Structure 1
């Protein structure tokens, strides 16, 4: 496959400090065998609302269920207890000077003038293919690669600490090997393993709630290695945006989503554009700009409906996002309508027990509770507790908190007290006692005593 590089000529002039230098740079690229495509970026000029004061809780200080939408950052920092790229033929560099062998996957064309990424932006970046069999064989045989695969197995088994230790070992040992290695192909292998290990480490730290540490891993990828593969770079940007969103750093999140969007617009990858538009719309909703949020989300939905079968899960995900936007706007009837469409779609695809249903049903329960229908909320929460079974996860703890609060409304004090206690026990197995989620449920638990006294 002929090598090519996609360039925005206006940015190139700025980078090379003038037209003459930019022209010489392009001439050199062509002499080196590149087919150079010049493009003009299309940009979405979304009006960014001013940073507003963090919104007040939708519940009173004495009544705090967790909606997993507006409270996304509550299960974040915890410092004590615990993709394959669809790449064009670009290159990765280390220390801004050494050119490294690129990754390469052919991307199928499903629509004219459009390429579609086959990797979810929420998955870690991986580099499993290269242009030559010799590179692939070196990668397969490298001891660091074998250590990384062991770390992945730990991750699949839920052994996060061991998985993280193994990933960081790969990165540190790889850096040491780079100082001693002179052979270019071997250097390429080591660098790819270093980047891969950092991306997986970031994913693990995210699972452990250590958001700032997860961001540092991605920053190491961006700062230590010059990544010219726009799809790999976009996926790192998207993951950074996801992490900032978890930390309630909405402006930073929006900035990185837009960076990724600009890259995908250059190559007109419609589905990737649509997915990022939906993510951007949610951030706008959190910034209290519901008008732009809905406009952008409907734009993303329109693209998905034009390109995909209407039973595609990505469409049902977008319905969920619209439900969140209307929920944050306190348009609860519209929110429930979209949540029900999302729920029905996932049930048709995957049946009654699918992880995607948990967040949808939880938000339905929260809305019912807000509307004063604690009976309907209890019914939904009890279904979710049954779904989780004996799996003592963070999600189960938050559902138990919500169910306990609904029980309080129905004066089921003993049941509420037991659920608060179980939720706290679960969360303390992940976080320390000063973590916001633990503190929140501890306060809610205190409501049982005051509520009991008020009815005596």
Structure 2
């Protein structure tokens, strides 16, 4: 690992230096210190850029909130989190199952203008396949989406056409396939897909590069590698700040806040989260509903369920006209889970049943999650919940091995 202090304040020079290191095969972590100086850390790509720490949720101690400088971007807390990880105590929470959010993507805004002037039917065909795979993912059809993306990537690898559009489709396909493989515990396959994005291409489009870093952050979070996740989100954050993309800055900061709430750094998480919401101002944007949901997650993880409920309600109201049914169902799940933890079991039961009635794709991971949560709620009400747990377990077993935490949790809940 090499440390390179960057004294220049020129955005072009900073980006040029980043690209130079990447072209030589280095993975770069660019961090902005509270002194407004940059420190670039470069590690040569030998065994890969991701560390797979799938051990669980850990507590990290002694993170100094003063390192967070509100007027600038999040300052690096690398050493503190690593030290906390070394001395951490393992904690698996027996609570409601909350799946990670879908990562936001600007794929269509990137590709649509280019496709309008594209006359090559082959390229358009690949684009339509990717759209179908993303549609399947959105509605919880994970296996079908993986099969389609795998086939699409194989076809793209055999193409001799040097097209920027094909590169974009290839990158998005790899990113999505990586995230889905991580969901079903195929971590080596997920890692391979995500690494390809940075190894196969020199990404000249900095906004696309930021999206890649953000998805890598999402993936690392999904396998509990929280330090690596923060590193990737910070890299995306630097680029978004350089280009003054306030909505993306706020969204990425909020993602970082959620991670800190997962490692029990609640005060720091809330400070970052409220700052992210503050910088967006009163203007609505495509991320506003997600920002309120993530802010709710921060309070949910800190067990402040009453406060979390307020933010989830706001998020749901903002999503009421959204065509993304999956996103609305996940928000209902959070609202119902908050009600459960507040002891409002009847209301929680009604909400879980409403959410289940809105699931179009049967036998999906989302349905299994909701069935488990409904089973817990019915058990709390002294009602028979055997059917819900059996259905939930049957679906989970279609996706996960028997030692997966979700399956163990359902079995444990059913035994109570």
The separation in 2 between residues aligned to 1:65 and 1:346, in whole angstroms, is 22
Give the direction of change, closer, same or farther, for the CA distance of 1:152–1:384 in structure 2 (3 Å limit): closer
C-alpha distance after superposition, 1:252-297 (max 9, x if no partner): 1111111011111112122221221111111121122222211221
Give 1:417 shift.
0.6
The separation in 1 between residues aligned to 2:77 and 2:383, in whole angstroms, is 48
1:440 aligns with 2:409: yes
- After superposition, residues 180-259 of structure 1 pair within 5 angstroms as 186-187=161-162, 189=163, 192-194=165-167, 196-208=169-181, 209=183, 210-259=186-235
Give the direction of change, closer, same or farther, for the CA distance of 1:148–1:162 in structure 2 (3 Å limit): farther
Which structure: larger Rg?
A: 1
Give 1:229 shift.
1.4
Give the direction of change, closer, same or farther, for the CA distance of 1:262–1:398 in structure 2 (3 Å limit): same
Give the direction of change, closer, same or farther, for the CA distance of 1:240–1:15 in structure 2 (3 Å limit): closer
Secondary structure (helix, strand or coil) at the match of 1:388 reads: coil
Q: How many aligned residue pairs are there?
A: 346
C-alpha distance after superposition, 1:327-366 (max 9, x if no partner): 212222212222222223333x349x94323222222322
Give the direction of change, closer, same or farther, for the CA distance of 1:384–1:281 in structure 2 (3 Å limit): same
Give the direction of change, closer, same or farther, for the CA distance of 1:389–1:259 in structure 2 (3 Å limit): closer
Give 1:429 shift.
2.5
1:163 aligns with 2:134: no
Give the direction of change, closer, same or farther, for the CA distance of 1:214–1:123 in structure 2 (3 Å limit): farther
The separation in 2 between residues aligned to 1:131 and 1:428, in whole angstroms, is 40
The separation in 2 between residues aligned to 1:13 and 1:365, in whole angstroms, is 48
Give the direction of change, closer, same or farther, for the CA distance of 1:126–1:219 in structure 2 (3 Å limit): farther
Superposed CA RMSD in Å reads 3.6
The separation in 1 between residues aligned to 2:172 and 2:247, in whole angstroms, is 23
Give the direction of change, closer, same or farther, for the CA distance of 1:333–1:149 in structure 2 (3 Å limit): closer
Give the direction of change, closer, same or farther, for the CA distance of 1:355–1:212 in structure 2 (3 Å limit): same
The separation in 2 between residues aligned to 1:411 and 1:150, in whole angstroms, is 48
Secondary structure (helix, strand or coil) at the match of 2:403 reads: coil
Query: Please, which runs of 5 or more residues in structure 1 have no aligned partner?
Result: 1-5, 18-38, 74-118, 178-185, 448-456
Within the candidate set 9, 15, 36, 2:13 is matched to 9
Within the candidate set 340, 343, 351, 1:372 is matched to 343
Instruction: Normalising by structure 1, report the TM-score.
Output: 0.66
Instruction: Normalising by structure 2, report the TM-score.
Output: 0.72
The separation in 2 between residues aligned to 1:361 and 1:435, in whole angstroms, is 25
Q: Which residue of 2 aligns with 1:396?
A: 367
1:66 aligns with 2:97: yes
- After superposition, residues 46-445 of structure 1 pair within 5 angstroms as 47=77, 49-50=80-81, 51-52=84-85, 53=88, 56-59=91-94, 64-68=95-99, 72=100, 120-121=104-105, 127=111, 136-137=118-119, 140-141=120-121, 143=122, 146-147=125-126, 149-150=128-129, 152-153=131-132, 156=135, 158=141, 159-174=144-159, 177=160, 186-187=161-162, 189=163, 192-194=165-167, 196-208=169-181, 209=183, 210-306=186-282, 308-309=283-284, 312=285, 314-347=287-320, 349-350=321-322, 354-388=325-359, 391-413=362-384, 416-445=385-414
Query: Please, which runs of 5 or more residues in structure 2 have no aligned partner?
Result: 1-9, 22-35, 39-71
Give 1:423 shift.
0.8
Bigger relative contact order (CA 8 A; separation at least 6)? 1
Q: Is the 8 A contact 1:201 1:217 kept in 2?
A: yes
The separation in 1 between residues aligned to 2:112 and 2:393, in whole angstroms, is 41
Worse-superposed segment, 392-401 or 150-159: 150-159
Within the candidate set 25, 33, 45, 2:75 is matched to 45
Secondary structure (helix, strand or coil) at the match of 2:287 reads: helix
